[in-house]
Structure 1
Amino acid sequence: MKSLVIILFTFFSFIQNPSDVRDQYYAASKSKQNAEKFYNLLAKYNKDNKTMLAYKGAALALKSKYASDRKDKKDLFIEGVTTLESSVKQEPNNAEIRLIRLSVQENTPKFLKYKANIDEDKKMIVSSFEKQSKDLKEYIKTYINQSKIFTEAEKQKIK
């Protein structure tokens, strides 16, 4: 019983720490095991934090990448994108949610046709950069500097 309480406490503490979730999201993009771990962490999340729901959508989209069954792949991707788009719609000025959507769209295969908001999201992220918290700025910088879709001029604006 004591170990269950510790596990639950650790789980709920983790969910509330944005830096940890960001780190887990980055790790999830690197391997099937990490994607599965990230998905399991967020699968049951249904609270009001739209940023966490956006991460849940991204976790579903990542899980779809590794699904073996074609129908599961499609269903997981649609659920992930729907969850992510709902978060964007509810908080359109949230730069972190826009960054999550951008990262999913940038890394989604062209045939899925989920790339329509890249320019809009890039513009919003760059223009609102100075208004973000210090840790979110660092997260944005890290992503932008490794991204292939940001121009050198855009990268210079966030220095």
Structure 2
Amino acid sequence: MKLLLSLLLWINFAGTPDLATIRKMYPNVTKSDSNAKEFSAKMADISDNDDKILVAYKAASILLDSNYQKKLTNKIARFKEGAKLLESTIKSEPNNIEIRMIRLSIQENVPRITGYKKNIKEDQKYITTHYAEQNGALKDYLKDFILQSKSFSEKEKQFVK
């Protein structure tokens, strides 16, 4: 019985990617098709009941996957699915700075025609306001994002250096 319980727990934890790995992968997902596919595969088993930060990364992977759909209807459907998941995740944790960073990173890079660029200023302001409150690892991750982001001014970028 103990063996069976141990095996089930191992399978459950082995399938869920750890946040450090995901954070390491995320900045590079748009650099190649293989990076994007690897990221999407890693996020595929995340459910809506998992850690909300992982759910937000899954939403980003769905939005990214929409780029690789051949049919326009499939592109639109995947995009809407990812955006809806990301928005519901933010609604459940509106004060989570990392989830807002994920949304900002998506909205900075989607075409204007999608209409999904409406929260850029709000998220940029939230990140700027709450950056100093974060712990070391998350602060470093946010800093790397801010320094490469188009949404932050040079003055804001100097603030995080």
TM-score by length of 1: 0.88
Partner of residue 108 from structure 1, selected from 97, 107, 110? 110
8 Å contact from structure 1 (residues 19, 135) kept in 2: no
8 Å contact from structure 2 (residues 62, 82) kept in 1: yes
Residue in structure 1 matched with residue 152 of structure 2 by the alignment = 150
Give deviations 1:94-141, integer Å, cap 9, x for gaps. 000000000000010111111100000001111111111211111111
Residue in structure 2 matched with residue 29 of structure 1 by the alignment = 30
Structure 1 residue 92 corresponds to structure 2 residue 94: yes
Paired residue total: 152
Structure 1 residue 9, shift from structure 2 partner: 7.9
Higher Cα radius of gyration: 2
- Paired residue secondary structure (2:23): helix
Give deviations 1:21-73, integer Å, cap 9, x for gaps. 01122221211221111111112211331111100000000011121111111
8 Å contact from structure 1 (residues 126, 157) kept in 2: no
Partner of residue 51 from structure 1, selected from 50, 53, 64? 53
8 Å contact from structure 2 (residues 67, 75) kept in 1: yes
What 5-or-longer segments of structure 2 have no aligned partner?
1-7
Q: For the residues of structure 2 that align with 1:25 and 1:50, how far apart are their CA atoms? A: 16
**Greater Cα offset, 131-140 or 54-63:** 131-140
Structure 1 residue 11, shift from structure 2 partner: 4.5
- Paired residue secondary structure (1:128): helix
- Structure 2 matches for 1:63-82, cutoff 5 A? 63-82=65-84
> For the aligned residues, what is the CA RMSD?
1.9
Q: For the residues of structure 2 that align with 1:80 and 1:140, how far apart are their CA atoms? A: 22
